[in-house]
Structure 1
Amino acid sequence: MAVTLAEEIMLLSLDDVSGVAKERQSAAWAVAGGILLDLVLAGRVAVDDGRLRVTDATPTEVPLLDERLRRVDAWCAKKDKAPKVTEWLTKDHSKAVKATVESLRERGLIREERQRVMGLFPVARYPEADGSVERELRARLHAVLVTGPTHQARTTGLLALIHGAKLHRLAFPDLPRKEVASRLDELTAGQWAAEGVRRAIRDMQAAMLAVTAATAATAATFTS
């Protein structure tokens, strides 16, 4: 079974040794967005003008995607009109992360380690168990960054999600962030997918920018 976009983003976020998630909040938005994008590519969900709707509730046979599809479908059915993508990302991002981590654990790509902080508070860490998938992923992303645009909608869509959530350092830790951001602007601007898919990704990028900006503003308020 192919690794999903959400799982790829989660692999980039989790530290291989400690199992701690890096850039946790932004990565969570991207994980939830990755699930939506996989559902868009599978023809199950449409995102248009910043709003979300289910176009086909038929299972994809990918457990992680099908569970979120059921949740999206039930949630949208309760709304008077198609809800905003930002609403869904806000509602589901933490649940999406938990589901994605569990999927990676079941695949044997990460392992769970239980610890106690200060001997009192239980926490879970998820260090690498099989690094082959992440190595292939990083090599693929780096190749696209160096050699130019790809006509594979899925890979370019992943780069668009990384760019939208500003996860440049997670995907390309050894390259200058400004240089990576400029390059991703170029790579995600071309005719690399059907217009409906590109429009959906633009809408999700805008949604992630909105929610991450709101989260940063809230954090700044509490720390000032």
Structure 2
Amino acid sequence: MPVTLGEEIMLLSLDDETGAAKSREAAGWAVAGGTLLELVLAGRLSVDDGRLSVTDRTPTGVPLLDERLGLIDAWTAKKSKPPRATEWLTRERGKAVGATIDSLRVRGLVTEEQRKVLGLFPVRRYPEADGTTEAELRERLASVVLRGADPDDRSAGLIALIHAAKLHRLAFPEVPAREVRPRMEEIAEGHGVGDDVRAAIRTMQAALVAVTAAVVVTAVT
């Protein structure tokens, strides 16, 4: 069963040793966006003019995706017209992180540890249990972004999400962001992928940019 885009972003966010999430807020947006994009690429959802619709209720066979698909279907059914993708991202961000981490735990890629901060406050951490998947992921990203290999559809989508959420340092912690942004921008524009995939990537990228910008404006005001 392939690891989903959201799970890949979560793997990049979780510290391998401590299990703490890095860039948690931005990663949360990207994880939620990754799940949506995965369902769009699977033909289960469509996003037209920024609005979200369920086009196929057939299960994908991936529990994490099928659970989100069911939730989206129930949510959109209550609306008088297709809701905006940004509404779902705002609603889903916090829940998406928990669901995705739980999926990684079930897959055996991370373990759950309970600790206390300052000896008082209980927290959960998710250190790496099997580093093979993340190592392969980082090699794939390096091959495309640093060495110029052509991305497949899912790699292009993943890179676009990382770029939109400004998570460059999670993907390439030892490379200055200014050195990877131009290539990631090029990939995010959809060069080298089909028209449908390009449209889906651009839609989800625009939705991520919109929700993160709204959060910044709210925080400032």
**TM-score using structure 1 length:** 0.94
C-alpha deviation, 1:152, in angstroms: 1.1
Q: 1:14 to 1:131 in 2, by over 3 A?
A: same
Cα contact 1:149–1:187 (8 A) shared by 2: no
SS of the aligned residue for 2:160 comes to helix
Aligned residue number for residue 110 of structure 2: 110
C-alpha deviation, 1:191, in angstroms: 4.0
C-alpha deviation, 1:204, in angstroms: 1.3
Matched-pair identity in %: 63
Amino acid at match of 1:6: G
Which range is displaced more, 22-31 or 188-197?
188-197
Aligned residue number for residue 161 of structure 2: 161
Aligned residue number for residue 218 of structure 1: 218
Say if 2:65 is the partner of 1:65. Answer: yes
Return the alpha-carbon distance in structure 2 between the equivalents of residues 190 and 204 of structure 1: 12
Amino acid at match of 2:194: A
Unaligned runs of 5+ in 2: none
Amino acid at match of 1:127: P
C-alpha deviation, 1:202, in angstroms: 1.1
Return the alpha-carbon distance in structure 2 between the equivalents of residues 133 and 22 of structure 1: 18
SS of the aligned residue for 2:56 comes to coil
SS of the aligned residue for 2:180 comes to helix
Aligned residue number for residue 198 of structure 2: 198
1:101-180 counterparts in 2 under 5 A?
Answer: 101-148=101-148, 150-180=150-180
SS of the aligned residue for 1:124 comes to strand
**TM-score using structure 2 length:** 0.95
Which range is displaced more, 84-93 or 149-158?
149-158
Which deviations, in whole Å up to 9, do the C-alpha atoms of 1:45-104 show, x marking residues without a partner?
111211111100110010000000000011111111111111000001111110100000
C-alpha deviation, 1:14, in angstroms: 0.3
1:32-43 counterparts in 2 under 5 A?
Answer: 32-43=32-43
SS of the aligned residue for 1:47 comes to strand
Amino acid at match of 1:150: D
The alignment of Structure 1 onto Structure 2 pairs a total of residues equal to: 221
SS of the aligned residue for 2:21 comes to coil
Aligned residue number for residue 11 of structure 2: 11
Return the alpha-carbon distance in structure 1 between the equivalents of residues 34 and 187 of structure 2: 18
Aligned residue number for residue 84 of structure 1: 84
Cα contact 2:188–2:201 (8 A) shared by 1: no
Return the alpha-carbon distance in structure 2 between the equivalents of residues 220 and 110 of structure 1: 36
Cα contact 1:7–1:104 (8 A) shared by 2: yes
Cα contact 2:188–2:202 (8 A) shared by 1: no
Q: Cα RMSD between the aligned structures? A: 1.3
Return the alpha-carbon distance in structure 1 between the equivalents of residues 190 and 155 of structure 2: 13
Which deviations, in whole Å up to 9, do the C-alpha atoms of 1:159-202 show, x marking residues without a partner?
01101111101001111112211111122324433323221221
Return the alpha-carbon distance in structure 1 between the equivalents of residues 118 and 163 of structure 2: 36
Amino acid at match of 2:132: S
Unaligned runs of 5+ in 1: none
Which deviations, in whole Å up to 9, do the C-alpha atoms of 1:105-152 show, x marking residues without a partner?
011110001012223221100011111100010010000013325251
1:38-49 counterparts in 2 under 5 A?
Answer: 38-49=38-49
